[in-house]
Amino acid sequence: MDELEQSLKYVPTYQVIEKSRKEEKKIAKEKLAVANNKIKAEKEQKDAVLAQAKALANALLNKGVDIKTIAKIIEITPKKVEGILVKIK
């Protein structure tokens, strides 16, 4: 009886197709969710690294270190250092 229940022999073709499409949509939604989570995690990591770089650059600037030296320490260009600095007045 179980074999008959799982068999597709007596199921109309349109129902088989409909079931297959639903499964495909479910799989596609799951893949999209995984991809979105991965993108979100990468963005959060990038933001965290940028925040650390800003904090380090500001701390070094406050100690009197010039921008070129800060750029060498952080391993980015001096122009990027100027872009991320938050000048404290």
Q: How many distinct structural domains can be found in the chain?
A: 1
Looking at residue 86, its pLDDT comes to 65
- Which residues constitute the domain of residue 16? 12-84
Residue 50 lies in a domain: yes
Residue 32 lies in a domain: yes
Is this model's pTM higher than 0.75 or not? no
pLDDT tens, position by position, 6-21:
777 777 888 889 999 9
Stronger pLDDT, 88 or 32, i.e. the higher one:
32
pLDDT tens, position by position, 26-82:
999 999 999 999 999 999 999 998 888 888 888 888 899 888 998 898 888 888 888
Residue 68 lies in a domain: yes
**Alpha carbon separation from 81 to 8, 46, 49, 69, 89 (Å, rounded):** 65, 16, 13, 10, 17
Residue 34 lies in a domain: yes
Residue 79 lies in a domain: yes
The three-point CA angle 69-72-77 to 5° equals 105
Token pair for 2? 């179980």
Residue 1 lies in a domain: no
